Amino acid sequence: MYWCVLVFPRPGSPHCPLCRLGSVLPAFLPSLLLLTLPGQGGPSAALLAPPAQFALEFRRADGRHGSGDQLWWLELRRNGSAVARWPAASGVVGRQRADRRWSPGNGAPLPPGLYRLGRPEAWAGSYWIDLLPRFATSRSALGIHTCLPGTGCICLPNAADTAAVARWIQATGLRQLKVVN
């Protein structure tokens, strides 16, 4: 998770005057106001030390990437607290409100729910992490991978972030993702 410069727990916090100005600040400035969490670059011995329970969550956020894609966050939690948070995209610009569950190939974001995480595989100079929905849907061929603009998957614009997510999955044995909203 990133923390705004005024130490409010979420970017875009209504309590943070700088976050409230996000829509009038230059596009690059909000990233300068964010501090990195300890697990951002991948696992460490201290973060892996027991007792540790890990969870991976994906949620829509306020804001947009420079490309115009909706901003989403892929967040790793350890014992309930965020230790890493990567900016992501899901769904094509202009298709954020499309049917997310029953229309494969329509460019909609991932539907909310639980997904089984596959093991990271080398793919196109980065990684592919298979996502298998644990609910009824006609959507398939879903995954976490490096890309931008967004597709119907979880797209991480930075290959280093995709590699960090892959290392976390390998080190912790994570096998589930929750798409929150």
For 83-104, give one letter per residue: b (16+ CB within 10 A) or e.
Answer: bbbbbbbbbbeebbeeebbeee
Q: What residues in the chain have per-residue pLDDT under 50?
A: 1-11, 13, 15-33
Range of the domain at 10: 1-35
Separation between Cα atoms, residue 146 and residue 75, nearest integer Å: 16
Q: Are 12 and 63 in contact (CB under 8 A)?
A: yes
pLDDT of residue 9: 43
Question: Strand 113-117 and strand 121-123: pairing?
Answer: unpaired
- Please identify which residue in the block is written with the tokens 């980065």: 126
Q: What is the CATH number of the domain that holds 54?
A: 2.40.440
pLDDT of residue 150: 79
| Domain count within the chain | 2
Q: Using one digit for the tens of pLDDT, what is the confidence trace for 55-108?
A: 999 999 999 999 999 999 999 999 999 999 999 999 999 999 999 998 878 889
pLDDT of residue 13: 47
pLDDT of residue 170: 97
Whether residues 63 and 125 fall in one domain: yes
Whether residues 81 and 169 fall in one domain: yes
Whether residues 28 and 41 fall in one domain: no
Whether residues 18 and 91 fall in one domain: no
- The token pair that represents 124 in the structure block: 């196109």
pLDDT of residue 103: 80
Whether residues 98 and 16 fall in one domain: no
